[in-house]
């Protein structure tokens, strides 16, 4: 959804209800992860995301993830330097103009919790990279 010039270049974001349920509603209500995602959803649905907030995912990560062609945004979007944003959203380009949410989660969680990159890998390939 490109918008007026004053808004910087933006791209539309589609959030499939099933993906939202699996990626966000799995989290405890009121948890920092869920609150961060829920704050972003209305703005993403209404305004899309600025291109400047997107980065390419590594096609092949050190953690054995394979995310070719996917894009990431650090959450909360537009707050603090990226290194201080704990969460991430992974997007896939759609055939029409826009992006689709693929995964949401912590970028560098405690041991035993899957990263947002591992969650995206599973959605693309049907299994986690270590399985």
Domain assignment present for residue 131? The answer is no
Give the ranges where the chain is alpha helix by DSSP (H): 17-23, 32-47, 116-125
Where residue 84 sits, what CATH number does that domain have? 3.30.2310.20
Domain assignment present for residue 42? The answer is yes
pLDDT at residue 44 above 80?
yes
pLDDT at residue 73 above 80?
yes
- What is the DSSP-derived secondary structure letter of residue 7? G
- pLDDT digits over 2-43, tens only? 444 445 799 999 999 999 999 999 999 999 999 999 999 999
Domain assignment present for residue 33? The answer is yes
pLDDT at residue 68 above 60?
yes
pLDDT at res. 1: 41
The residue-averaged pLDDT of 101-127 equals: 94
- What is the domain range of residue 68? 5-125
Q: Which residue has the higher pLDDT, 96 or 52?
A: 52
The residue-averaged pLDDT of 124-129 equals: 96
Domain assignment present for residue 116? The answer is yes
Domain assignment present for residue 9? The answer is yes
Residue 8 CA to residue 30 CA, distance in Å, equals 32
- Residue 81 confidence class, pLDDT cut points 50, 70, 90: confident
Domain assignment present for residue 113? The answer is yes
**Contact between residue 63 and residue 99 where contact means Cβ atoms under 8 Å apart:** no
Number of domain units in the chain: 1
Domain assignment present for residue 76? The answer is yes
């Amino acid at each position: 959804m490109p918008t007026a010039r004053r808004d910087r270049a933006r791209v539309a974001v589609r959030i499939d209800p099933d993906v939202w349920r699996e990626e966000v509603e799995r989290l405890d209500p009121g948890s920092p992860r869920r609150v961060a995602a829920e704050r972003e959803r209305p703005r993403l649905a209404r305004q899309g995301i600025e291109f400047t907030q997107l980065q390419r995912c590594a096609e092949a990560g050190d953690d054995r993830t394979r995310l070719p062609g996917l894009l990431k945004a650090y959450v909360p979007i537009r707050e603090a330097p990226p290194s201080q944003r704990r969460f991430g959203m992974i997007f896939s380009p759609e055939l029409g103009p826009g992006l689709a949410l693929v995964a949401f989660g912590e970028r560098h969680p405690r041991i035993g919790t899957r990263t947002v990159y591992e969650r995206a890998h599973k959605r693309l390939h049907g299994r986690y990279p270590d399985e």
